[in-house]
Amino acid sequence: MRVSYLGPKGSFTQIALTKYFGDDADEISQRSIGEVFNTVEKRMVDYGVVPIENSFEGSINNTHDLLIDSTVKIYDEIQIRIHQCLISKTTEINQIKKIYSHPQSFAQCQSWLKANLPNAELIPVFSNSEAAETVSTDDEACIGSLRLTKLYDLELIKKDIEDSKENTTRFVILSHEQQEKKGHNKTSLVITPPDSDASGSLYNLLQPFASEGINLMRIESRPFRGQLWSYVFFIDCEGSIEDSSILNAIRTLKEQNIRVKILGCYPSQQHP
């Protein structure tokens, strides 16, 4: 089984991949979320793994934007708790003058950094794995997973430096396939109204779900590229795409000239 993921090695996406697929998958690192989508779309791999939402920093916009036009489906989801570590060639925190990290990790640790390393220079890089590769002297450090210490021969200065101990990222498994419907399901949709700026457009979008008694677990808007100040809406709703209530809601939306794209139906994971 070949699985592409947002890398490089040591990324939290790789941790999610291993947790979901185990150690037998052929893991193929990609440098961007777009490259992961591309490998799945061209059937170069069986599955792809990308982040879609963080409980602290919110949605991953790139993933949402790519889902709008992509031919791949959401096969499943997995959540993992994100534990950030401060890593260096030394174990002495008072030596650290520069810190490399992905901007998301800086954001997730900003209060800790202000309290413990207020004078350190924060240098954003493409990924935390790249940050680990960059550390070369005792006055430099990076932020990332504990796994980076083994991969890049570094030392742990401090673990669990994230500001929120509930810091969790949700990842989606991409595929051309859909799994059998069973248990507690979630259905993900992209909904595009003909004119999102028109009066009552949001009400018209949500009303069919309310009429059918469907629980909306998440709603997210993104700019619709190519149309100024127009938006598409990502909706996760409780239930299977085979449920009559969801089918009725989709039918009502289409009767109003509202476009609906089914991103996937998969078991809902409530907690990591």
Give the model confidence (pLDDT) of 187-246 as tens digits. 999 999 887 666 678 888 999 999 999 999 999 999 887 677 788 999 999 999 999 999
pTM of the model: 0.88
Pick the CATH number of 185-267 from 3.40.50.300, 3.40.50.2300, 3.50.50.60, 3.30.70.260: 3.30.70.260
Separation between Cα atoms, residue 162 and residue 108, nearest integer Å: 6
Per-residue confidence band for 272, with pLDDT thresholds at 50, 70 and 90 = low
What is the number of other CB atoms lying within 10 angstroms of the CB of residue 216? 12
Separation between Cα atoms, residue 58 and residue 34, nearest integer Å: 19
What is the number of other CB atoms lying within 10 angstroms of the CB of residue 50? 26
Express each pLDDT in 100-158 by its tens digit.
Answer: 998 989 999 999 999 999 999 999 998 898 899 999 999 999 999 999 999 999 999 99
166: DSSP letter: T
What's the pLDDT at 118?
97
User: Which CATH fold would you assign to the domain 2-82+167-175?
Assistant: D-Maltodextrin-Binding Protein; domain 2 (3.40.190)
What's the pLDDT at 196?
61
Burial of 178 by CB count in 10 Å (0-12 exposed, 13-18 middle, 19+ buried)? Answer: middle
Q: What are phi and psi of 4, to 5 degrees?
A: -95, 155
CATH 3.30.70.260 occupies which residues in the chain?
Answer: 185-267
Express each pLDDT in 124-136 by its tens digit.
Answer: 998 898 899 999 9
14-22 long-range contacts, CB within 8 A, separation 24+: 15/80, 15/145, 15/147, 16/49, 16/51, 16/78, 16/80, 16/169, 16/171, 17/49, 19/78, 19/80, 20/49, 20/76, 20/78, 20/171, 20/173, 21/47
Express each pLDDT in 7-22 by its tens digit.
Answer: 888 889 999 999 999 9
State the CATH class of domain 85-159: alpha beta
Burial of 42 by CB count in 10 Å (0-12 exposed, 13-18 middle, 19+ buried)? Answer: exposed
- Comparing CA positions, the residue from 112, 53, 77 lying closest to residue 263 is 77
Separation between Cα atoms, residue 133 and residue 87, nearest integer Å: 11
- Please compute Rg for the chain using Cα positions: 21
Express each pLDDT in 171-193 by its tens digit.
Answer: 999 999 998 777 789 999 999 98
Express each pLDDT in 47-88 by its tens digit.
Answer: 999 999 988 888 899 999 999 999 999 999 999 999 999 999
Express each pLDDT in 32-50 by its tens digit.
Answer: 899 999 999 999 999 999 9
CATH 3.40.190.10 occupies which residues in the chain?
Answer: 2-82+167-175, 85-159
